[in-house]
Homo-oligomer: A and B are copies of this chain.
């Protein structure tokens, strides 16, 4: 039931922009909780990279006095990976095309993260 709701939020996130290829909810220790991935994307890769990005992001924010980590954005020539805290124990990872409008993606992911945070309470 809760899982269905989480998957619905991720599906809606993917549908919010044609530039979002995949979304996933990953626990902070790197276990996949729910995902709506485009074909050919490996669930384990997404989970592992999310946890690695989160770990380095947290360390960096701490070492350079930027407070508690909220988000990490990785920008490649062909697109983005956005890892965003959804409550204290999980992150939403979004994989998007380079044509994505970042401001809108930030907004939609923030909304989804809040909804999922409520569900995980």
Which residues of A approach B to under 8 Å, CB–CB? 41, 45-46, 48-49, 52-53, 56-57, 59-61, 63-81, 95, 98
Contacts and interface: CB of A to CB of B under 8 A. Distances in A.
A73 B75 contact: yes
A49 B60 contact: yes
Specify the main secondary structure of chain A where it touches its partner.
mixed
A95 B75 contact: no
Contacts of A67: 76-79, 98
A75 B4 CA distance: 30
Contacts of A65: 78-79
A101 to B, nearest CB: 12
A69 to B, nearest CB: 6
